[in-house]
Copies of this chain bind each other. A is one copy, B any other.
Amino acid sequence: MRKEYSHPIEVTMDVVCGKWKGVILCHLQQNDVLRFGEIKKLLPKVSQKTLTLQLRELEADGLINRQVYPQVPPKVEYSLTEYGKDLEATLTHMSEWGKSHVEKVELNG
């Protein structure tokens, strides 16, 4: 199951490079705690199944906590772990870079 990595950045990329993982992490960074449905509203284009999958993977990799309340209807809250918070600077930096990239592309038509 465990892969061989030739460079440590591959590990991070493995963990962060799902189609929605970056955005999910950013939102959790800004909101502390979010319920499943709230995340879904923040990412209107993601499907139920895929969102679940991305969250489970982030959980398995130790980036987020999944707190289940035994209620009906169910309530599940997600938040960053301490470990996930170590990525905050990186995520912020990636967002900034993305912002300037968009601006650059818009300038060059």
Interface residues of A (CB under 8 A from B): 2, 5-13, 15-17, 22-23, 26, 43-45, 61-62, 83, 86-87, 89-91, 93-102, 104-105
Closest to A102 in B: B11
Query: So how many copies of this chain end up in the complex?
Result: 2
Given the known interface contacts A90-B97, A93-B89, the answer about A102 and B8 at a Cβ–Cβ threshold of 8 Å is: yes
| 6 cross-chain pairs, A with B, having the tightest CB-CB distances, nearest first | A11-B98, A8-B98, A12-B98, A17-B17, A12-B94, A8-B99
Decide: A9 and B95 in contact? CB cutoff 8 A.
yes
With the chains together, A49 CA to B11 CA distance in Å? 23
* Residues of chain B with a CB closer than 8 A to A102's CB: 5, 8, 11
